[in-house]
């Protein structure tokens, strides 16, 4: 993982990052999220000027990045692609786990296919909350690679919270990758993991087969009515 810059340097670096010049940013003095002033009523010019007088605070930067994540699905797709590079810069250089988490969150909600690469980096972050956010983000991504990454985390992670986040996210993916990973998790002896898998399957399938893991495993092993789906009755 790229080394983190010192906390005293990064705020200035983030504000002055070079971003594709398509009208998103008006210059270093406008801050990293200048476009949001026009997309979100929260960012009034008077408020922005007050912030400029004091300098861009960490709290302000978190608010801006959270607003970007919340607004991502309403931003035109070409603009989403342009934000991907900026989110990458934040993730690679910001020492704050919260800023990296929010960068992963925003990338996960982007329709830009290349944003998946940033989310994938998040599953290997040295901070648990960032890894958990990456798992949740992968649950929202449509790519098969997202399911493959989640299956790897569910099978390999030594942190139970991260594994459980991956298992819950797998329930949002159709197909054999998710099915096989969930079947393996059901075979574990840990009751908490078994309960989570069953709850995930109930939510994703709309079925309730009780609390016996073996019953769910048998159902997952049933051939799908659509052979090309490569899954079970649930897929």
Please write the tens of the pLDDT for every residue from 77-117: 889 999 999 999 999 999 999 999 999 999 999 999 999 99
Radius of gyration of the chain (CA): 21
What is the rounded distance in angstroms from the CA atom of residue 73 to the CA atom of residue 78?
12
What is the rounded distance in angstroms from the CA atom of residue 56 to the CA atom of residue 53?
9
CA 71 to mean position of chain CA atoms: 15
Is the model's pLDDT at 165 over the cut of 80? yes
Question: For 53-63, what is each residue's pLDDT tens digit?
Answer: 555 577 888 99
Is the model's pLDDT at 23 over the cut of 60? no
Task: Report yes or no on whether pTM surpasses 0.95.
Answer: no
166: its two tokens: 């991956």
What is the rounded distance in angstroms from the CA atom of residue 94 to the CA atom of residue 10?
6
Q: How high is the mean pLDDT of the chain?
A: 79
Residue 95 phi, psi dihedral angles, 5° rounding: -75, -10
pLDDT, residue 56, reads 57
**pLDDT, mean of residues 194-215:** 92
Q: Are 151 and 178 in contact (CB under 8 A)?
A: yes
Ranges of each domain in the chain: 1-141, 144-235
């Amino acid at each position: 993982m790229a080394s983190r810059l010192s906390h005293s340097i990064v705020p200035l670096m983030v504000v002055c990052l070079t971003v594709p010049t398509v009208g998103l940013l008006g210059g270093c003095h406008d801050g990293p999220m200048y476009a949001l002033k026009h997309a979100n009523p929260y960012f009034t010019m008077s408020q922005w000027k007050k912030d400029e007088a004091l300098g861009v605070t960490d709290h302000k930067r978190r608010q801006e990045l959270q607003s970007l994540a919340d607004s991502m699905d309403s931003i035109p797709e070409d603009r989403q692609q342009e934000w991907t590079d900026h989110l990458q810069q934040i993730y690679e250089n910001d020492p704050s786990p919260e800023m990296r988490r929010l960068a992963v969150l925003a990338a996960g909600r982007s329709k830009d296919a290349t944003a998946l690469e940033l989310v994938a980096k998040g599953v290997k972050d040295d901070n648990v909350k960032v890894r958990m956010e990456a798992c949740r983000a992968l649950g929202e991504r449509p790519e098969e690679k997202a399911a493959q990454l989640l299956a790897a985390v569910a099978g390999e992670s030594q942190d139970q919270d991260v594994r459980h986040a991956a298992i819950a996210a797998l329930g949002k993916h159709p197909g054999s990758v998710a099915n096989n990973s969930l079947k393996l998790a059901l075979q574990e002896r840990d009751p908490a993991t078994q309960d989570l898998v069953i709850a995930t399957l109930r939510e994703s399938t709309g079925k309730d087969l009780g609390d016996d893991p073996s019953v769910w495993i048998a159902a997952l092993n049933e051939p799908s009515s659509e052979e090309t789906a490569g899954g079970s009755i649930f897929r």
